[in-house]
Structure 1
Amino acid sequence: MHSLWRLRGYLRPYVWSLSLMLVASLGGVALAIGIPLVTRAIIDGPIAERDLSALWPLAGLALLLGVTEAFLVWMRRWVQSAAVLGLETTMRRDLYARLQELPMAFHGHWQSGQLLSRATTDLSAIRRFSGFGLLFLLINVVQLTATTVVLLHMYWPLGLVVAAASAPIVWLSMRFEKRYVVISRRVQDEQGDLATYAEEGAVGIRVIKSFGRSEHVSQGYERAADRLHATSMEKVRLSARFWTFLEVIPNVAVVIVLALGAYGVGRGALTPGELVAFITLMLSLVWPVSSLGVILAMAQEAMTASARILEIFDTEPSIVGGDKTIEAPRGHVRFEAVDFAFPDTPDQPVLCGLDLDIAPGETVALVGATGSGKTVLTALVPRLWDVTGGRVTIDGVDVRELRLEHLRSLVATAFEDPTLFSMSARENLTLGRADATDEEVAEALEIAQAQFVHELPWGLDTRIGEQGMALSGGQRQRLALARAVLTRPTVLVLDDTLSALDVHTEKLVEDALRRVLADTTGVVVAHRASTVLLADKVALLQDGRITHVGQHSELLATVPAYRELLAAEAGSVAGSVGEEVSA
């Protein structure tokens, strides 16, 4: 129950609603016990004595108790719906906010399907238990205890039979709980794995179809589905055995009570009204006992679900913002003795003692071999990753001391593999700046040569689909570039953003970008000589360090490694173009 106890803070705003639900439920228990007692009075009084005048007041009392019980049930369910749905909504919002806070290292380790499973299936399991199981677990315990006390008071031999029947139920429940919690966790983990297969199959459908691997991917999905089916059936078999025993034990107890009760009436130890009331009260315990299996199953699923969700909440963000802001940012970026290694491979540094100074308004092209750390270097500026040594500063302030929201309003990044969302083209464009005017949007589209959006069926209001799959690679890159330009950042990072553009479009974009980069500090990851020419100077990245900084022509003439790198890239591009022409 530790996991559920950790989530008690979510119940605090709903204390009044939950208290009202509890009062209404306990009132219903008292009325459920009171109605059989009134029945006993009717049988042993007016019916036994054939006094009809005394029947009507007792019948009216029974009717009043029944109507009151029905009203309390209605009130409980009405209050319950609002409280439980509000609880689920709050948890869902906080979980999403937590996922946004966690760093890239966390998201790199977790499968998206596992996160989706926690945000959907697990939260639903908690809602079901908090809205039904938790309340009825308490109510049923109260009803069992109170009814057993009444039965013992009415006729203690039969009361002992009822009390004795609870012993095997408690024993079975304890055994069931231990096994069910293990299998519930397996089911929920396998649901997350299956969700991952489904999500990857949908996002990667273009690759799957292009390689003709639909059957292969389908087989992987089917294997995961079969594992989930087998584990779920094991869970069902365990539950079925437990619930069967819970059904048998009360029925056996009813038979024993009928036999002993009839014997007691024959001996005069019980009145007929007491026997009817006794059996009625005992039958009222069948639901609390038979529902115990369902409630315990829900409790175990909710505890497992809460433990899985708390794995996310208990993960402390490794990247936490400071409290500083830069009042009049100029965009002076410095890398000072920067070291970086990924958390999983701390003994394999990517950057080692790297130094680089980028003056305000200056554009620097980062050139290096594949895997040299160019993308990592650019990710350190907006703190998608944090340095493991040294520091990165903007206008002399360590980026770790800045508020994250402020830092990321200063820095805009356009990635080589852009991410677009399942929303309209306009919403994707204005993601980083919701207050942009139509004129500013049009200007950003022109700079990025992304005017193709006006040719979409509904123009800027066209929904472009998940991941922008309805667009070509070059169109996605241009739209992402326009999004970055629209924010009017102090520092603009272009991570090989033009790689998917044809030569003609690239030339138009570069001409427009020169105007933008003249007014901002730019960091450009470059592979082509044409992209390098956008920059005021070039920094060559080798073995985790900046080994040379200078003009393109200067490095081309004096640094063989730089010349060979650009020649290799040029040869690769030329070869690709030649293949396309010959095709």
Structure 2
Amino acid sequence: MPEQRSFFKSIGRLYPHMKPIIPRLLMGLISALLASIVALAIPQVLRVLINDSLHPSGSSSGVWVAVWVILGLGILEALLVALRRQFVINPATTVETRMRISLYKHLQDLTVSFHDRWGSGQLLSRAMSDLNFLRRWMAFGAIMLVVTSLTVIIGVILMFSMSWQLALIFLAAAVPIMIFGFRFRKNFGRVARLSQDQAGDLATTVEESVHGIRVLKAFGRSREALENFNEQAEGLRQTEIAKAKYLATFSLVVTLLPELALGLGLMVGIWLSTTGQLSIGSLVAFFATAAVVASPVEACGMLLAMTLAAKSAVDRHYEVMDSVNTITDPTEPQTPSESKGALTFSKVRFAFEDAVAPDPADTKFILDEIDLEIRPGETMALVGVTGSGKSTLLQLIPRLYDVTEGSISIDGVDLRDFSVEQLRTVVAVAFEDTTLFSNSVRDNVLLGAPERTDAILNEALDVAQAQFTHTLPEGVDTLIGEEGLSLSGGQRQRVALARAIAAQPKVLVLDDPLSALDVNTEAKVEARLREVLAETTTLIVAHRPSTVALADRVALLQDGRITDVGTHSELLGRNAHYRYVIASLDEEPKDLDSELETELEEAGEAVR
């Protein structure tokens, strides 16, 4: 459960962001306050006009003076309102942008385990909707809430100066408004937070449905997805209705009570005027002032709702910003004296954060007492049955997760003693579930390359047998669409493999990178990999016998432990479980796009 903070404690967390723009905000506040004071001055001009000029002995010149004064005050009020906007809009958008960039940077730094727990829609709503709302609150809501409060105070003082009896009647209406406002703040704050959270969940559902549209269509589950979305959307609708009801009820109270007070005050005012206790000018000025004050009183419901929603937005923003990045640089980063790529696992144990118990005996370790040494330039295959922990072990090498116990070292230096940036230039990864970005082939392949040259690009594409990229509409500069879904599975895997190769790492980690390739393409890739991996230490998860054949040695992972290491032939001869694993490895899959390319190449050679 997130920590429950008071309103001022939550809003106070914005101070570091708002500090640079406080002078501009103060100028905007002063402009808005002056506009309200000008509006309150108009009734005073009316009072002088009625008392001094609008009677049989009055002069017409006094009327014209009052007309021009009121016109001037109206123009001045409009200019001050425009000036307020000029003062606050630009700095407020600057703060919004900086907070959004800061949030994105923090998301990039946070661990994979954090992203495992958080839905992407929740993060998206915090980065976009919440910060957009905070910008509008800083530029309008906060300033107008202060101005509204001061306008009411100044207006009430003026009303007391004209008639304390009528002012008391008007002020009496404020007591139930304050009582009801306390209840409104509590209830509206709760549903405002719920609404923002539900909107985040809904955004997650939309994103997942869009990314998984092919699966939904292939399995005919569009109706079920729609029903689930409809249920979530209906829940959000009900919450928004609840918000609207609370706001409508509060608006009813803050509008009705002052109006009733004015009605009662009008009767009392007429009686005071007929008895000579109040002049006609003062009576008119009082109700003109009350009309000016009534407007901000009615607006306070909306402004209060906006402020409460801003508190929720701040709390949601800092739920992410307060998340601690546990994978950080050491105080004094180290680098190996000689970079060869020797990779060593020493008594490595790993469990996800939520599975770690105070008593180690109660902790459910996915990997337990892993001891493994991979020599520089060696290619080692990692095999095991499904769920044995192969992919998890690979993710420890670039420190996507940290080991729970034990250590992993490269060339004798513990991974935790590298700077994170340096480690991830030494290690490159290609995952089975390939992720490409909505960018060009060139930018995807050269993402981690030390130099963005055509030579590195072309060699990486050649090794990964991804020459098909040159035949795309704009060649390697073709945009490949969101997550590369415009490409086939085999094509995406080859681009991802090219990306890992282009990084030119000392340690290459491959999580079954050839699973979507047909036999012919895989053979070509393996032949080229043997050439380029001659001096690169490679750990590769193998789900196919042909991938195992690429390795110098094989490590067998069983129940979270390395139970045997040797060549493929040695393990076949001495280890029954290894024979079982090899016999159960996947049959060679067919990637139709790759096969079509191969057939076209063979047809071209036949023609030549």
On whether the aligned pair clears a TM of 0.5, the verdict is yes
In structure 2, the residue matched to 1:47 is 54
The aligned amino acid for 1:522 is T
Q: Residue 284 of structure 1: SS of its match in structure 2?
A: helix
CA displacement, residues 248-283 of structure 1 (integer Å, 9 cap, x when unaligned): 112112212222222222222222221221111100
* Alpha-carbon distance in structure 1 between the residues aligned to 2:61 and 2:166: 33
Aligned runs of 1:403-414 on 2, under 5 Å?
A: 403-414=419-430
Matched, 1:290 2:306: no
CA distances 1:198-257 after superposition (whole Å, capped 9, x unpaired): 111111111111111111111111111111122222222222122122221121122122
Report the 3-state secondary structure (helix = DSSP H, G, I; strand = E; otherwise coil) of the residue aligned with 1:224. helix
1:396 is matched with: 412
Q: Does the 8 Å CA contact 1:128/1:298 hold for their aligned counterparts?
A: no
* Alignment check: 8 A CA contact 2:381 2:542 kept: yes
> Could you say what secondary structure the match of 1:431 adopts?
coil
Amino acid in the other structure paired with 1:395: D
CA distance in 1, matches of 2:590, 2:355: 35
Report the TM-score when normalising by structure 1. Answer: 0.95
Mapped pair 1:480 → 2:496: yes
Cα deviations across residues 99-124 of structure 1 (Å, max 9, x unaligned)?
Answer: 11211111111122222222222223
Give the drift of 1:160.
1.1
> Match for residue 468 of structure 1?
484
Determine the structure 2 residue equivalent to 1:309. Answer: 317
Flag the 1:575–1:115 CA change in 2: closer, same or farther, 3 A.
closer
Deviation of the 1:60 alpha carbon? 4.0
CA distance in 2, matches of 1:519, 1:259: 97
- State TM-score, norm by structure 2: 0.91
Q: Is the 8 A contact 2:493 2:516 kept in 1?
A: yes
Q: Which amino acid aligns with 2:419?
A: R
Distance 1:47 1:433, change over 3 A: farther
SS of the equivalent of 2:53 reads helix
CA contact (8 A) 2:516 2:589 kept: no
> 1:326 corresponds to which letter in structure 2?
T
- The answer to whether the 8 Å contact 1:325/1:406 transfers is no
Name which of 333, 340, 346 aligns with 1:324: 333
Q: Structure 2 stretches of 5 or more lacking a match?
A: 1-6, 357-362, 596-608
2:118 to 87, 110, 115: 110
1:368-416 Cα distance to aligned partner (Å, 9 max, x none): 2211111111111110010000111122221112221121111110001
Q: C-alpha separation between the residues in 1 aligned to 2:110 and 2:207?
A: 21
Q: Which of the numbers 587, 591, 595 marks the counterpart of 1:573? A: 587
Q: Greater CA deviation, 166-175 or 533-542?
A: 533-542
Asked whether 1:424 is paired with 2:440, we answer yes
Q: 1:77 to 1:97 in 2, by over 3 A?
A: same
- 1:287-310 per-residue CA deviation (whole Å, 9 max, x = no partner) reads 111111111111121112221222
Alpha-carbon distance, 1:39 to partner: 2.3
Counterpart of 2:398 in 1: which secondary structure? coil
Distance (whole Å) between structure 2 residues aligned to residue 434 and residue 338 of structure 1: 31
* SS of residue matched to 1:416: coil
1:9 aligns to 2:16 (yes or no): yes
The Cα shift of 1:529 comes to: 2.7
Q: Which residue of 2 aligns with 1:258?
A: 266
Q: How well do the aligned residues superpose, as a CA RMSD in angstroms?
A: 2.0
* In structure 1, C-alpha distance between the alignment counterparts of 2:81 and 2:317, rounded to whole Å: 32
* 2:377 equivalent to 1:361: yes
Deviations 1:166-204 (A, max 9, x none): 111111111111111111122222212221221111111
CA 1:517–1:260 in 2, change beyond 3 Å: closer, same or farther?
same
1:409-435 Cα deviation digits (max 9, x unpaired):
111100011101122222212222384
| 3-state SS in 1 of match to 2:259 | helix
The answer as to whether partners of 2:518 and 2:590 remain within 8 angstroms in 1 is: no
**How big is the shift at 1:157?**
0.8
Alpha carbons 2:383, 2:390 under 8 Å: kept: yes
Task: Give 3-state SS (helix, strand or coil) of 1:285's partner.
Answer: helix
Contact 1:3 1:310 in 2 (8 A): no
**In the TM superposition, what are the counterparts of 1:18-37 in structure 2 within 5 Å?**
18-37=25-44
| Aligned residue identity for 1:542 | Q
Which structure 2 residues correspond to residues 63-462 of structure 1 after superposition, within 5 A?
Answer: 63-322=71-330, 323-326=332-335, 329-346=339-356, 347-433=363-449, 435-462=451-478
**Aligned partner of residue 239 in structure 1, secondary structure:** helix
Identity of aligned residues (%): 44
SS in 2 for 1:540: strand
Contact (CA 8 Å) 1:556, 1:562: kept in 2 or not? yes
Distance 1:92 1:475 in 2: 34
Instruction: Tell me the matched-pair count.
Output: 576
Amino acid at match of 1:173: G
Question: How many Å separate the matches in 2 of 1:398 and 1:534?
Answer: 28
Q: Quote the offset at 1:567 in angstroms.
A: 2.1
Q: Is the 8 A contact 2:518 2:588 kept in 1?
A: no
